[in-house]
Amino acid sequence: MAPVALETPTHINGASTPVSISKKAHAFDPATQHLPDIDPSKLTIKLSHELATVPAPETLTFGTIHTDHMLLLTFSPEAGWSAPSIQPYGPMSIDPMASCIQYATNIFEGMKAYMGADGRPRLFRPDLNMARMKRSADRLALPPFNEQALLELIKKLIMVEKRWIPSAPGCSLYIRPTMFGTRIGFGVTPSTSATLLIILSPSGPYFPGVVRPISLYAESRVRRAWPGGTGGHKLALNYAPTLRPTREASQQGYDQILWLFGEDDHLGEVGQMNAFVVLKRDDGSLDVITPPLDGTILPGVTRHSVLDLTRAHSPENAIPGLPADLVLHVQERYIPIAQLVEYSETGTLAEVFGVGTAAVLVPINRIGYGEEGKEIKIEGGANGFGPIARAVREELMAIQEARRPSIWSVPCDEE
Amino acid sequence: MAPVALETPTHINGASTPVSISKKAHAFDPATQHLPDIDPSKLTIKLSHELATVPAPETLTFGTIHTDHMLLLTFSPEAGWSAPSIQPYGPMSIDPMASCIQYATNIFEGMKAYMGADGRPRLFRPDLNMARMKRSADRLALPPFNEQALLELIKKLIMVEKRWIPSAPGCSLYIRPTMFGTRIGFGVTPSTSATLLIILSPSGPYFPGVVRPISLYAESRVRRAWPGGTGGHKLALNYAPTLRPTREASQQGYDQILWLFGEDDHLGEVGQMNAFVVLKRDDGSLDVITPPLDGTILPGVTRHSVLDLTRAHSPENAIPGLPADLVLHVQERYIPIAQLVEYSETGTLAEVFGVGTAAVLVPINRIGYGEEGKEIKIEGGANGFGPIARAVREELMAIQEARRPSIWSVPCDEE
């Protein structure tokens, strides 16, 4: 199919059109403009003539294929947000001088649609993703948008593509809202125009094969994020710098990186996931700890949900699979890597796991640190899961798949 | 014109082609592969049928227009680097799931071609740009390339487009080598395919209008870069996070940001330039200081050249316009903002200026800091230039425009 034109191709050449894009862009501040916002009532749907065969769930990996259609919106400083369009998936036409190519003004979200046990397509806490995406856009000076309107459009796209939602366990329809600046010019200035896409990708497990624990290398030379930086936002630019260190960790036999920060080398994220640590106390209660949101940690939807579930655990409201009288001391605090080593050596360390939309919850069984091949080893039960990891993961998935009723699970087939 | 196809549009849908791009990509490490490198002898040139009118130099701003042609190369894990092509400038076809859109695997360089006083198109120390671009590619796990071969191609493109080189003072043909990952898929893994483009943009002054000093706001809440981060590489992703803080500084009446870092809030970069500070000593000699390359500072070609020129200044090798017996103490060291304030208050502070390829050298006359509207004011001579800024800028431009012979100025019309 022909590429979708995202920009009117007005490549300004010649003295006859001495338009200074740079100057115009500099004066523009979307927050102070009153331009048309996203309007779901203007949605047009153009279905593909050729629909692809939906792959068997057991062949699915993470994020390698897409559905037949995508949702497209564009923003211009003159007209605001365009009428939304559901149209056949296809390549885009982008100017080589576009902001998204030159200056990385690209943001995204990760969400999942599940086919509920009730036969209704469902999203998991999508309001949290929409709010985060709005903050991401603001951080990169991209145009603002109405997040409820965008969510409505995502639901409509899911309903159009619902035959793509895999119903096998561990499978889902991964949703990738993506927004990027399309302003043309080399001036380092906010992108006054943008494109917003929703892409759907039927996906299997994030880590291929059976559910298994993963290994980490604790990285203290390269830093993923820092206070005053952008690690607390979901920006494309947080990911590129992790590729080479992760490849090096992989060459040393580790699956992902445990990102450390600060003079005390405290725990940050785990690959692309938020980190959780469980410690045993003498009285049989447990500490459930995750690093605080200090600007270096992504405020993950799954992180938020794990905190909510574990904080609510009580005799009246127990997480299934955990003793009702088990006391959980839930904390957001720093854990220096040296302290984690000490917890391991003293037998206090019970579990380490990573959580995120793509992977849900993955146990960690091995953490390499330092330069002498030292390792923390963490024992797990079946498939490497400790009791907290297992129970929390099951509870999350039960809610996501609407096997357990919850206001967190939002059906796509109603407004 | 039709967009250039950068990727064979093999959107893998359906169980019939269960290709796991993610797995394949993960095992790939370009450094260990023996794939075809860039080969200038394979260059094909397809000239545009319609050539644009070259604009009058006085209408030029920075980076808003482009020439008729661009140079294009693609890299695939199967075939290595493609035959290079000079072809009409035009939009590109990019998959919405491409690495450059999703994960900001984008790098670039900034160079300039000048029409030499000898009538030959010339580049300024292009070997430094090529070496830096190679390091940038390596940092983002993008494919390696032969930098001499790329430089040869840039020279050929300049020769094709030489009518676009403005010969007016302060104007030049800005060169933007751009490379970005085109791997398709949501797995966070190195981009095994890439596109490399050379774009040319006839440009006037970086800051519009007459050459004038600019003002800065010293920013300590948002941090541009940090040790262990990517601030020492020329990556697209270093720029997007600066857009909103710069817009806010602009709303307060400042042109650019003075980026601070560390507990002592020491000086980093100046907008998109390297910072220089000149201090007076009692004996009439001067300190010329720039922040050290600790990973938070871009190793600028102009920075490098200013250090070279000022370090070489001596009675035998004086910078024209400066007294031959003037002693310059050139240092790469940290200057906390509080120290800069003190230098200002004690009358020691002589000059502050920013240097970079796009702007060459720009004096700074005002630095806002803190939250109470405090400002450092710096007196300049004509147009706000101090003696060091004026002499160094003139010497740089004399070399760039081949008015003064130098091995730094490299003609494009020979191998």
Reported as a pLDDT band with limits 50, 70 and 90, residue B29 is low
β-bridge partners, A274: A269, A355
The reported pLDDT for the residue numbered A33 is 66
The reported pLDDT for the residue numbered B414 is 79
Q: Is B196:B177 a contact under the CB 8 Å cutoff?
A: yes
* Token pair in block for residue A257: 């990186």
Is pLDDT above 50 for A26?
no
The reported pLDDT for the residue numbered B118 is 87
Which residues have C-beta within 8 Å of that of residue A151, sequence separation ≥ 6? A126, A127, A130
- CB contact under 8 Å between A104 and B106, yes or no, is yes
Q: Over the stretch A279-338, which tens digit does the pLDDT of each residue have?
A: 999 999 999 999 999 999 999 999 999 999 999 999 999 999 999 999 999 999 999 999
What average pLDDT does the segment B271-296 reach? 98
Domain boundaries of chain B, sorted by first residue: 25-203, 214-400
The reported pLDDT for the residue numbered A117 is 84
Residues 93-112 of chain B with CB under 8 A from chain A are: 93-97, 100-106, 108
Residues 53-72 of chain A with CB under 8 A from chain B are: 53-56, 59, 61-66, 68, 70
Note the ipTM here: 0.92
CATH 3.40.50.970 is held by the domain B25-203: no
Percent of chain B predicted with pLDDT > 90: 85
- CB contact under 8 Å between B105 and A62, yes or no, is no
Classify strands A328-332 and A266-270 as parallel, antiparallel or unpaired.
Answer: unpaired
- Cα separation, A259 vs A241, in Å, equals 12
Residues 76-95 of chain A with CB under 8 A from chain B are: 89-95
Does this chain's domain A25-203 share its CATH topology with A214-400? no
Is pLDDT above 90 for B252?
yes
- Cα separation, B229 vs B231, in Å, equals 6
Q: Is A384:A365 a contact under the CB 8 Å cutoff?
A: yes
Q: Over the stretch B188-246, which tens digit does the pLDDT of each residue have?
A: 999 999 999 999 999 988 776 677 899 999 999 999 999 999 999 999 999 999 999 99
Reduced to 3 DSSP states, what percent helix, strand and coil does chain B have, rounded to the nearest 5?
A: 25, 30, 45
Task: Provide the Cα torsion B400, B401, B404, B408; round to 10°.
Answer: 30
The reported pLDDT for the residue numbered A212 is 86
The reported pLDDT for the residue numbered A415 is 61
Is pLDDT above 90 for A28?
no
Chain mean pLDDT for chain B: 91
Is pLDDT above 50 for A13?
no
At A188, phi and psi to the nearest 5? -85, 90
Q: Over the stretch B81-131, which tens digit does the pLDDT of each residue have?
A: 999 999 999 999 999 999 999 999 999 999 999 998 889 999 999 999 999
Is A135 in CB contact (< 8 Å) with chain B? no
Q: Is B200:B150 a contact under the CB 8 Å cutoff?
A: no
- CB contact under 8 Å between A247 and B190, yes or no, is yes
Cβ-based contacts under 8 A for chains A and B? 282
Residues in chain B within 8 Å Cβ distance of A23: 61, 208
What average pLDDT does the segment A348-377 reach? 95
Which residues have C-beta within 8 Å of that of residue B99, sequence separation ≥ 6? B105, B180, B181, B182, B183, B184, B185, B191
Is pLDDT above 60 for A12?
no
Q: Is B114 in a helix, a strand, or coil? A: strand
Which residues have C-beta within 8 Å of that of residue A382, sequence separation ≥ 6? none
DSSP state of B184: B
- CB contact under 8 Å between B11 and A208, yes or no, is no
What average pLDDT does the segment A261-269 reach? 97
Between B415 and A51, name the one with better pLDDT.
Answer: A51
The reported pLDDT for the residue numbered B204 is 87
Q: Over the stretch B41-92, which tens digit does the pLDDT of each residue have?
A: 999 999 999 999 999 998 999 999 999 999 999 999 999 999 999 999 999 9
What average pLDDT does the segment A163-173 reach? 92
At A147, phi and psi to the nearest 5? -75, -30
- Cα separation, B319 vs B311, in Å, equals 10
At A62, phi and psi to the nearest 5? -95, 125
Is pLDDT above 80 for B21?
no
The reported pLDDT for the residue numbered A15 is 29
Nearest to A208 by CA among A337, A66, A372, A60: A60
The reported pLDDT for the residue numbered B382 is 82
Residues in chain A within 8 Å Cβ distance of B12: 64-65
Is pLDDT above 80 for A21?
no
Is pLDDT above 80 for B3?
no
- Least confident among A33-42, B100-109, B137-146: A33-42
Strand order in the sheet with B4-5: A4-5, A92-94, B92-94, B4-5
- Cα separation, A126 vs A154, in Å, equals 10
Q: Is A166:B90 a contact under the CB 8 Å cutoff?
A: no
Among B62, B237, B242, beta carbon nearest to A187: B62
Is pLDDT above 60 for B8?
no
Does this model's pTM top 0.80? My answer is: yes
Chain mean pLDDT for chain A: 91
CATH 3.30.1490.190 is held by the domain A214-400: no
Measure the CA angle with vertex A177, ends A171 and A183; round to 5°: 155
What average pLDDT does the segment A222-242 reach? 97
Residues 1-20 of chain A with CB under 8 A from chain B are: 3, 7, 9, 11-16, 18-20
What average pLDDT does the segment A143-157 reach? 98
Read off the amino acid at residue A313.
Answer: H
The reported pLDDT for the residue numbered A381 is 84
- Rg of chain A taking only CA atoms, in angstroms: 23
DSSP state of B361: E
Reported as a pLDDT band with limits 50, 70 and 90, residue B301 is very high
Reported as a pLDDT band with limits 50, 70 and 90, residue A251 is very high
Is B209 in CB contact (< 8 Å) with chain A? no
A-chain residue closest to B61, CA distance: A20
Reported as a pLDDT band with limits 50, 70 and 90, residue B415 is low
Residues 238-267 of chain A with CB under 8 A from chain B are: 239-244, 246-247, 250-251
Residues in chain A within 8 Å Cβ distance of B66: 11, 13, 97
3-class SS string, A239-280: CHHHHHHHHHHHHCCCCEEEEEECCCCEEEEECCEEEEEEEE
- CB contact under 8 Å between A90 and B9, yes or no, is yes
Which contiguous run of DSSP H or E holds residue A197?
A: strand A194-203
Which contiguous run of DSSP H or E holds residue B286?
A: strand B286-290
Reported as a pLDDT band with limits 50, 70 and 90, residue A29 is low
The reported pLDDT for the residue numbered B236 is 98
Measure the CA angle with vertex B384, ends B378 and B390; round to 5°: 110
Q: Please report how many Cα atoms fall inside a 13 Å half-sphere around the Cα of residue B181, on the Cβ side.
A: 37
The reported pLDDT for the residue numbered B28 is 45
